[in-house]
């Protein structure tokens, strides 16, 4: 190693040893929210609020059927159609619903009400509550501009807080996040 290179090397080492001890690294998280049914609304809001409570900066990007989760009034529903895993505890057993029955008017609404009652009974937060907690915890929310145009929503329809953005806005956020989820 030449003398000059040695000096540079020493300087680098000195700089490294004199650098202040870094604070524990803050991780960050982003979530793409693509689904707006009652059941699928839970994972993104549960993870966003919990990560924020654990000190992570969190960004939620609401696109396609996830976008209506930002509407002022939520009336979330679910369907048992195509979901053989959806079995509710009833009369001492777990009961599912054949696909054919889910086509009967009122069945999905009844299932949704049953699920909300069950959640309430078990102390599970409502999506409205989790969303409020997410806003309180400064979770950044981005409403997909393209979906707003596609489904003809305006910011007036939405709760206070979300900003508008597109794919590039999300990608920039994702490159700076340690955890990126698509739900």
Partner 1 sequence: MSEHILDAKGLNCPLPILKARKALKDVPSGETLEILATDPGAVADFQAFCRQTGNELVEHSEEDSVYRFLIKHTAA
Q: Smallest distance, Å, CB 66 to partner 1?
A: 19
> With the C-alpha atoms ordered 31, 33, 34, 35, is the resulting torsion angle positive or negative?
positive
Binding flag, residue 169, partner 1 (CB under 8 A): no
Query: Residue 162 pairs with which residues in a beta bridge?
Result: none
Site for partner 1 in 124-143 (CB under 8 A): 124-125, 133, 137
Binding flag, residue 24, partner 1 (CB under 8 A): yes
Q: Smallest distance, Å, CB 129 to partner 1?
A: 8
Q: Smallest distance, Å, CB 181 to partner 1?
A: 15
Site for partner 1 in 39-58 (CB under 8 A): 46, 49-50, 53-55
The DSSP output letter for 71 is B
Give 144-147 contacts, CB < 8 A, sequence gap 24+: 144/61, 144/62, 144/63, 144/64, 144/67, 146/63, 147/62, 147/63, 147/64, 147/67
Q: Binding residue for partner 1 (CB under 8 A) from 20, 92, 105, 123?
A: 123
Q: Smallest distance, Å, CB 115 to partner 1?
A: 14
Pairing of strands 58-62, 140-144: parallel
- Interface residues with partner 1 (CB under 8 A) are 24, 46, 49-50, 53-55, 122-125, 133, 137
């Amino acid at each position: 190693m030449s003398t000059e290179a040695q000096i540079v090397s020493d300087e680098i080492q000195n700089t490294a040893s004199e650098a202040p001890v870094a604070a524990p690294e803050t991780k960050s998280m982003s979530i793409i929210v693509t689904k707006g049914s009652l059941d699928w609304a839970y994972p993104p809001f549960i993870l966003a609020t919990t990560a924020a409570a654990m000190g992570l900066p969190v960004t939620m990007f609401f696109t396609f059927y996830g976008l209506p989760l930002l509407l002022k009034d939520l009336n979330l529903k679910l369907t048992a159609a195509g979901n053989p895993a959806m079995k509710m505890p009833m009369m001492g057993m777990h009961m599912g619903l054949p696909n054919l029955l889910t086509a009967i008017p009122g069945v999905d609404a009844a299932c949704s009400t049953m699920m909300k009652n069950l959640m309430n009974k078990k102390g599970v937060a409502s999506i409205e509550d989790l969303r409020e907690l997410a806003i309180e915890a400064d979770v950044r929310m981005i409403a997909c501009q393209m979906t707003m145009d596609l489904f003809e929503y305006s910011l007036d329809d939405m709760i206070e807080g979300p900003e508008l953005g597109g794919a590039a806005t999300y990608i920039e956020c994702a490159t700076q996040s340690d955890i990126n989820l698509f739900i």
